[in-house]
Chain A
Amino acid sequence: MVKLAVRNITRNLRRSLLCAFAIAVSAMAIVLLFALIDGMEADMRDNLVKYYTGEIRIRSSGYAEHERYRPLYQSLDYATITAVLDRMDEVAASSGRIEFPLSIYLGERSRPAVGLGLDFEREHAFSNLGTILTDGRLPTGGTNELLLGAALAKSLGTNIGERLTLLASTAAGSTNAMSFTVVGIVTPPIGALSASALYLDLERAQRLLHMEGQVQQIVVRAVSKAPLSPLAARIAADIFTTVGIEVESKTFSQINELFALFLTARLIYYAIALVFFILGSTVIINTTMMVIYERMAEIGMMKAMGMQDGEVRLLFLLEGAFISAVGALVGVLVALLIAYLLGKRGIDFTEAMSGVDMEISSVLYPRTNVRTSIGIYVYGVLIATLATLAPTRRAAKIQVVEALNYV
Chain B
Amino acid sequence: MSRKFLILTLCLSVATLLPLMGATAQQIIAALDANTHFSTSHSTGFITTVDRFGTRTSTFEAWAKGEHTSLIAFTSGLERGQKILRTESSLYLYYPDADQVIRLQGAALRQSVLGSDLSYEDLTKEGNTLSSYQATLLGEERFDDVLCWVVKLEAKSKSSAYPTQTLWIDQEHTVVRKARYATSSGRGLKEMEVIETMEVNGRVVAKKSRVVDLLKKNSHTTMHIESLEIDLALSDAIFGLENLSW
Chain A positions near chain B (C-beta within 8 angstroms): 73, 105, 107-108, 144, 163, 165, 167, 170-179, 207-208, 210
Judge whether B53 and A165 touch: CB under 8 Å: no
A-B contact count (CB 8 A): 58
5 closest Cβ contacts across the A-B interface? Answer: A173-B115, A177-B95, A179-B99, A177-B98, A174-B114
Q: Are B52 and A105 in contact (CB under 8 A)?
A: no
Query: Nearest Cβ in chain A — how far from B188, in angstroms?
Result: 20
Contact B53 A179 (CB under 8 A): no
Please determine whether B95 and A73 come into contact, CB atoms closer than 8 angstroms: no
Query: Do A179 and B115 form a contact, CB below 8 Å, given A73-B53, A170-B78, A174-B79?
Result: no
Which residue of chain A has its CB nearest to the CB of B98? Answer: A177
Asked if A165 meets B115 with Cβ closer than 8 Å, knowing A172-B56, A174-B79, the reply is: no
Give the residues in chain A near B82, CB-CB below 8 Å: 176
Q: How far is the CA of A165 from the CA of B51 in the complex (A)?
A: 29
* A177 pairs with B113, CB closer than 8 A: no
User: Given A170-B78, A172-B115, are A177 and B102 also a contact pair (CB < 8 Å)?
Assistant: yes
Q: Give the A-binding residues of B (Cβ under 8 A).
A: 51-53, 56, 78-79, 82, 93, 95, 97-100, 102-103, 111-116
Chain B residues with Cβ below 8 Å from A173 are 51, 53, 112, 114-115
Which chain A positions have C-beta within 8 A of B51? 173
Interchain CB contact under 8 A, B115 and A170: yes
Indicate which residue in A107, A175, A208 contacts B100 across the interface (CB closer than 8 Å): A107
Which residues of chain A are within 8 angstroms of B78 by Cβ–Cβ distance?
170, 172, 174, 176, 210
Known: A177-B93, A177-B95. A172 touches B53 (CB 8 A): yes
**Known interface pairs A73-B52, A73-B53, A210-B78. Does A175 touch B111 (Cβ–Cβ under 8 Å)?**
yes
Contacts of B114 in A (CB 8 A): 172-174
Please indicate the chain A residues that have their CB under 8 angstroms from the CB of B95 in the complex. Answer: 167, 176-178
Closest beta carbon of chain A to B48's beta carbon, Å: 13
Scoring A167, A172, A176 by chain B CB atoms within 10 A of each residue's CB, the highest score goes to A172
| Contact (Cβ within 8 A) A175 B93 | yes
Would you give the shortest CB distance from A101 to chain B, in whole angstroms? 13
Docked-complex contact B102 and A165, CB < 8 angstroms: yes
- How distant is the Cα of A72 from the Cα of B198 in the complex, in angstroms? 39
Residues of A within 8 A of B116 (CB): 174
- By beta carbon, the residue of chain B nearest A212 is B78
Q: Are B115 and A174 within 8 A (Cβ)?
A: yes
Q: Contact at B99–A165, with CB atoms within 8 Å?
A: yes
Q: How far is the CA of A144 from the CA of B97 in the complex (A)?
A: 10
Expressed in whole angstroms, the minimum distance between the Cβ of B77 and any Cβ of chain A is 9
In the docked arrangement, what's the CA distance between A272 and B78, Å? 60
Contacts of A179 in B (CB 8 A): 97-100
The CA-CA distance from A207 to B98 in the complex, in Å, is: 13
**Quick one: which of A176, A179, A207, A208 has the most chain B CB within 10 A?**
A176
B97 engages A178 (CB within 8 Å): yes
* Most A CB within 10 A of own CB, among B51, B79, B113, B115: B115
Q: Please indicate which of the listed interface residues B51, B56, B99 has the most CB atoms of chain A within 10 Å of its own CB.
A: B99
Which B residues are CB-close (under 8 A) to A108?
103
- Are B99 and A163 within 8 A (Cβ)? yes
Listed by A's residue number, 5 A-B pairs whose Cβ atoms lie within 8 Å are: A165-B98, A177-B93, A177-B95, A177-B98, A210-B78
> How near does chain A come to B103, taking the closest CB pair, in angstroms?
8
Name the residue on A nearest B97 (C-beta). A178
| A-B contact sample (13 more), CB < 8 A, given A177-B95, A178-B97 | A73-B52, A165-B102, A167-B95, A167-B102, A172-B53, A173-B114, A173-B115, A174-B79, A176-B78, A177-B98, A179-B98, A179-B99, A179-B100
Residue of B nearest to A176 (CB): B95
A105 x B100 contact (CB < 8 A): yes
Q: How far is B116's CA from A172's CA once the two chains are assembled, in angstroms?
A: 9
Nearest A-chain residue to B111, judged by Cβ: A175
Tell me the complex Cα distance, A165–B112, Å: 20
Would you give the shortest CB distance from B119 to chain A, in whole angstroms? Answer: 12
In the bound complex, residues from chain B placing their C-beta under 8 Å from that of A73 are 52-53
A108 to chain B, nearest CB (A): 8
